[in-house]
Amino acid sequence: MGKTMIQKLFAAHTAPEASVEPGDIIWLDLDVRTARDFGGANVVQNYREHYGDAPVADPTRTFFTFDLVAPPSNIPYANNQQLCREWARSQGIRVYDVNAGIGSHVAIEEGLVHAGDTFVGTDSHLNLLGAMGAFGQGMGDQDIAFAFKSGRTWFEVPPTMKVVLQGTLRAPGTARDLTLAVLQRLGADGALGRAIEFHGPAIEALDLAGRITLASQVTEMGGLIGFPISEAIPSSLLPDHDADYIESIEIDITELEPLIACPPNPANVHPVRELAGKRIDSVFLGSCTNGRFEDFAAVAAIVKGQQLAPHVMATVVPATRRVYAQLLASGVLETLFEAGFIISNPGCGGCASGHLGMTGKGEVQVSTSNRNFPGKQGAGQTYLASPVTAAWSALRGEITVPEVRA
């Protein structure tokens, strides 16, 4: 029997004689180990408690990335970040500080991770690294403290499900709409404890930003990791033709219409047209799911020369400092600013409660972020949609089905 991609990747990171069939427990070598400002201080605390002043396994493969409360908006988080900084200094570990942006995206841009690598940290959306063919995984602070010290951890080899996307994405459809279509089909636990391989022409046509959008939402499907099978995957990792899948499903996106996830969870997906006309108060553009340059460029193309609806407060949070630089150099930033957007420094933005852009009771927000669980972004109601749907909605001041301009 052949092997799936996760089996091949795991086989290259464990003892040569180890079996990597689904359900097997293996010791997995971890190429890169990270922590961020959420969980980071707890990692340090666990590390000190169990290992004292002992050095980490390899400081050149260990990093901190501060991305959530950046810069800190209260003293406890400022304290936690400073505690991590000082400990990192004592260990010779590099810190990507509050100016850098979202850790997973920084890792891609800075070349900290490559196709075929294993990468862990205290961020449940690290699995978006599947977009470039790496195994990224969010873990708790005990797991990460252990990984800092040992450079590996135990892992149960997951079964793989195959999702084939047929058809071609057509405007105004975006990678986010394709992702929402998969969420609609799988639900919040349709991939529970599984790896996913995404196959098909619609997947091969996605750029890196689009693959990141899809891979980041595998967490919301209950999955461990999703690999969009594309040219980015080295041939040595491509699944065998006779690989064994626990389930195979096909989704045809030929007739895909713009979709939106309503409260109370990201899998509560409906066509945008069912909600068209619902008045909104705010828009959030960014997060690890839709915080790339391409996402903001798509918005700029729609709002150029126009003003947002006067009652809509709309915020742009680039994923990283490098994305911010691209926005500046290309003129996209200026277009968004002139349309009325609030432009924030890079980071996770509204995903961290208590930080930038919370919603109040009764507030309706359209967001390109990744979760809309009750209370996550505040007391209001969050609707998750593509940057294109969010842009049209921000202009009209109500949930709007995007139009295709000739």
Dmax (CA) for the chain in angstroms is 64
Q: In terms of CB distance, is 93 or 145 closer to other proteins?
A: 145
DSSP SS3 for 251: strand
Distance in angstroms between the alpha carbons of the first and the last residue of the chain: 50
Q: In terms of CB distance, is 78 or 276 closer to other proteins?
A: 78
Q: In terms of CB distance, is 254 or 353 closer to other proteins?
A: 353
Amino acid identity of residue 315, one-letter, is T
Residue from 285, 282, 280, 281 nearest 344 by CA:
285
Closest contact distance (angstroms) between CB of 364 and other proteins is 19
Closest contact distance (angstroms) between CB of 174 and other proteins is 24
Closest contact distance (angstroms) between CB of 162 and other proteins is 19
Closest contact distance (angstroms) between CB of 129 and other proteins is 14
**Residue 46 C-alpha from the chain's centroid:** 26
Contacts with other proteins by CB under 8 A lie at 25, 38-39, 41-42, 45-46, 50, 74, 76-77, 79-80, 122-124, 137-143, 145-146, 150, 153-154, 156, 158, 188-189, 192-193, 219, 222-224, 265, 352-354, 371, 373-376
Q: In terms of CB distance, is 10 or 77 closer to other proteins?
A: 77
Residues near 384 by Cβ (< 8 Å), separated by ≥ 6?
Answer: 180, 260, 261, 266, 367, 368, 369, 370, 371, 372
Q: In terms of CB distance, is 189 or 252 closer to other proteins?
A: 189
Q: In terms of CB distance, is 135 or 341 closer to other proteins?
A: 135
Closest contact distance (angstroms) between CB of 179 and other proteins is 17
> Containing H/E element for 196?
strand 195-199
Closest contact distance (angstroms) between CB of 368 and other proteins is 18
User: What is the per-residue DSSP string for 65-130?
Assistant: E--SSSS-SSHHHHHHHHHHHHHHHHHT-EEE-TTTB-HHHHHHHTTS--TT-EEEES-TTGGGGG
